Amino acid sequence: MNNHYDVIVVGAGAMGMAAGYYLSQKGIGTLMIDAFDPPHENGSHSGDTRIIRHACGEGPEYAPLGLRSQELWDELQGKTSESLFRKTGVLTFGKKGSEFVEQAVTSGRRYDMNIEALSADEIMGRWPGITLPEDNIGCYEPDAGVLFAGNCIRAFRRLALENGAELMTDSPVTSIDVETDSVRISTRDGVFTADKLIITAGAWNKKILSYLDLEIAIQPSRRVIGWFDSEDRLYAADKFPGFICDMPGGTFYGFPSIEGTGVKVGCFDNGVDGAPEYMNREFGAYGEDEADLRYFLGEYMPQANGKLNVGKTCMFTNTPDEDFVIDLHPEYDHIAIAAGFSGHGYKFSSVVGEILSALVTKGGTSRDISSFSAGRQALYPDKSGI
């Protein structure tokens, strides 16, 4: 292992491993450092599967990134025998007037996507496993689906290493020193230097960025997901889509039953904030862990409200406005940051890796990331921004 690299990537989860891969494609000398051994259960990528939507209810600015990320996932699929993506379709639904659903429709139409706007009756007629009030609406994307999170990271990892990148696992970063044209990274296993630095440490970003005296408002938060015994005649992956639901009782998301594992469901709104190293990782540690998920299933998918097969925890890292941070450091143009993905970032990790690679090699990107500035006011609620 060398001591000096062109680029060091701190945090080799979904975003960092993708960045390492795209740097390695360019022949850039790259070291990826992770506190664990990715993929693993300690990061924001845990939980086996992730939805990929292109018509994003979070806002039209996400749609071009969603479309590009799908292209990159498809390219990656061509380089591995592991299954990375399954086209199940994705249904976004909620009460009529839901800004989230309406923005999904707007995004899809603006970028000429293959989408359908549906009424409650049309949704229930097509998928009898869903029960909705008459005043609900939906947006269906048949070309969207499910990413297999661990497989995606393993594919990026294998290909990056084959291209000459290096990976140091189980090695937490203990300090970062910044010079005008280089960085010095201290870890439990040694000290390494580089011309450029990428920080993609997920829930640990707050701690890592503190080494650079950058204190932006990102908050790690514990979330839960559960797989529930369900009727495969209704909910199997060849019959039922991935879904996200914006209701007065909360925002929920989920997956069809894949290979008989049961319907998987999670909630955006039942989080417990805390530092990742002290977070309780035991599903059921809080009474609402299972109760909130069963509330959703009981209301909208009663035939999936069976025995709990598996319950797990994962982590979100939220910004105040729930928009990402993808930018160069406000003071150091040789440091790129990807942070604050607020529970809806995994599907974009391929394109985020491509963007980060461009930021540190070219100083910029052709993608519009203006909404994700590291200096925007929302990230500094007690100050005037940077």
**Phi, then psi, of 159 in degrees rounded to 5:** -70, -40
| Domains of the chain, start order | 4-45+150-216+321-379 (3.50.50.60), 90-142+220-318 (3.30.9.10)
Task: Take residue 120 and report the two structure tokens written for it.
Answer: 């409650």
pLDDT, residue 386, reads 56
346 burial level (CB within 10 Å; 0-12, 13-18, 19+): buried
Q: Rounded distance, CA 52 to CA 66, Å?
A: 8
Question: pTM for the complete prediction?
Answer: 0.96
List pLDDT tens digits, range 44-57.
Answer: 776 689 999 999 99
Instruction: Mark the ranges of the chain whose per-residue pLDDT is less than 50.
Output: none
pLDDT, residue 385, reads 54
Task: Take residue 12 and report the two structure tokens written for it.
Answer: 């080799």
pLDDT, residue 384, reads 60
Task: Take residue 315 and report the two structure tokens written for it.
Answer: 């982590």
pLDDT, residue 44, reads 78
Residue with tokens 């850039």: 28
- 3-state SS class at 245: strand
* Residues 291-297: contacts with CB under 8 Å, at least 24 apart: 292/224, 292/250, 292/267, 293/224, 293/225, 293/226, 293/228, 293/252, 293/265, 293/266, 293/267, 295/249, 296/245, 296/247, 296/249, 296/250, 296/252, 296/265, 296/267, 297/228, 297/263, 297/265
Q: Helices (H), strands (E): how many in the chain?
A: 9, 20
Q: Rounded distance, CA 334 to CA 331, Å?
A: 9
User: Nearest-CA neighbor of 91 among 61, 129, 59, 62?
Assistant: 129
List pLDDT tens digits, range 135-151.
Answer: 999 999 999 999 999 99
